[in-house]
Amino acid sequence: MTSSNDQIVLYGGQGNIFAALKLSDETMPYLMLETADKGIKFIPTDQYSPEEHWTILRLHTFGSGGDLLVRRDEDRVFWRFVGYDGVFNQLKLTDGTPYPKPLSVSDEDERSLLWGAYWRQDDSGHQHWQENRVGKAQLTYPFPEPVERVEIRACRVLDASTHETVAYWTYALAEHQPQESQ
């Protein structure tokens, strides 16, 4: 993750936020989107352009600036943001409830290996990894260069006083680095 002088914040809320939402492709370049009619897609945030008829079921955008999760439960929409305060302010989310205590970030990465293999480069220059083990989902992971394997990285966000995990911040796709066995 990139360092920042911004305070780390955690907010949660509910309400239809899609009309006002301003996503940042610089600080949160990755986007997983599930709609009722198009299914699941993993795209670069700069390719997000919601259509009026879409029913967004889930949206997850993340990067070094923050991690926003949005999910629909019937006619209600819930959201959670963890990341830097400045990035949160850029999103134009309102009516959120902040976590009331100072937060810190764990020093250790949480890593998940993404399956599939290198697929192709699109017209905009993004490299893609095709997930071929997930039925109907169109999971192609945008990545800047061809590498053998890709992993998703997250860190634990801790209550600064108790050191208890209060959230996970997904922040990157990275080349998989096998860890040494112990």
Give dist(CA 41, CA 137) in Å, integer.
Answer: 7
The answer to whether residue 1 sits within a structural domain is no
Greater pLDDT, 119 or 90: 90
Question: pLDDT tens digits, residue range 112-150?
Answer: 776 655 556 667 666 555 555 555 555 566 666 667 777
Supply the mean pLDDT for the chain.
82
pLDDT at 109: 85
Residue 72 has pLDDT above 60, yes or no: yes
Residue 180: inside a domain, yes or no? no
Residue 78 placed within a domain = yes
CA atoms within 13 A on the CB side of 18: 22
pLDDT of residue 119: 58
Q: How many domains does the chain have?
A: 1
Whole-number Cα distances in Å, 49 to 19, 20, 45, 139, 182: 11, 13, 9, 18, 46
37 assigned to some structural domain = yes
Which are the contacts of 58, defined by CB distance < 8 A and separation ≥ 6?
32, 33, 34, 69, 70, 71, 72
Which residue range(s) make up the domain with 74? Answer: 6-174
Q: Does any domain span residue 95?
A: yes
Q: What is the pLDDT of residues 13-54, one digit of tens each?
A: 998 888 788 888 889 998 888 888 877 787 788 888 877 777
* 181 falls within a domain: no
Please check whether residue 38 lies inside any domain of the structure. yes
Question: Is 44 domain-assigned?
Answer: yes
